[in-house]
Amino acid sequence: MKIGLIGLGIMGKPMAKNLLKAGYDLTVFDLNQAAVDEVVEAGAKKAASGAELAANCELVLTMLPNSPHVKSVVLSPGGVRDSARPGTIFVDMSSINPIASREIAEELAKKDIEMLDAPVSGGEPKAVDGTLSFMVGGKQEVFDKVKPILQKMGASVVLCGGIGAGNVTKLCNQIVVAANIAGLAEALMLGQKAGVNPETIFQAIRGGLAGSTVMDAKAPMMIKRNFKPGFRIDLHIKDLNNVMDAAQSVDSPTPLSAQLLEMMKNLHCFGEGGLDHSGLARYYERLAGTEFGVPAE
């Protein structure tokens, strides 16, 4: 199967490399030519445009920042909708508003193009080692065709329901991740201010009920004050804004998500939106007047 991938950012680039390692015929397109050149050097073909890519691939994948970017690539004149042949499968691996996923799928269906929404969780480290979690929405028979390909990039690939269900599930995931990160930062700051080493707290509680994948990934980053982005705060703001939109559309209460969104927006206002979302620790450092690793007076 000829596969095309549009979007070679922090996540898309290592995902493309994993498809190449698995032996797939891959064509790529991105506005960042340095990223394209790197993936081409690894064995991919280069398309001059998204339209050219869609016209020559049986499976088109996108990994883009948000709903407007996906809509532009797919629905703009000369985009995927207009260029792909009937029978093409389109899989959007971006994290976008589920309402947008349904709108895009409806337009593609008019051209006999099947769609799955398949956002991922795991950040850059899991994109690199091919152990992402895919949350997928769409038809069972389309999912069955694509699942073996997604498994080359992820350790978990789950069909969650019809179109949009993948992105609904991803929004749920992002609530839990943000709440875990904020709770972790709050706990470690309390410990440090009370005179207990945050590293000791982390090692003591990680094996109990409080332990989680989030804790194992983010506690060391907070303690070392290493906020190199695997998943940027600004992207998590985007996801939480989508949470609020989706929650409003179904009248679901989200008071915790609203508070988490305000905390991350505060970091953005301080010019820290490009930090990893473990940078929520900076919010607590500012409130506490203490940096992690620096003993409280």
Residue 223, token pair as written in the block: 């303690």
The predicted model scores a pTM of 0.91
Per CATH, the architecture of 168-288 is what? Orthogonal Bundle (1.10)
- Rounded CA separation 164/278 (Å): 28
Average pLDDT over every residue of 63-78 = 95
Burial 218-248 (b: 16+ CB within 10 A, else e): bbebbbeeebebbbbbbbbbbbbbbbeebbe
Q: Tens digits of per-residue pLDDT, 85-129? A: 999 999 999 999 999 999 999 999 999 999 999 999 998 999 999
- On the 0-12 / 13-18 / 19+ scale of CB atoms within 10 A, 168 is buried
Phi, psi of 32 (to 5 degrees): -85, 100
The domain ranges of the chain are 2-162, 168-288
Q: Which CATH superfamily is domain 2-162 in?
A: NAD(P)-binding Rossmann-like Domain (3.40.50.720)
Annotated catalytic residues are 170
Q: For residue 35, what pLDDT is reported? A: 97
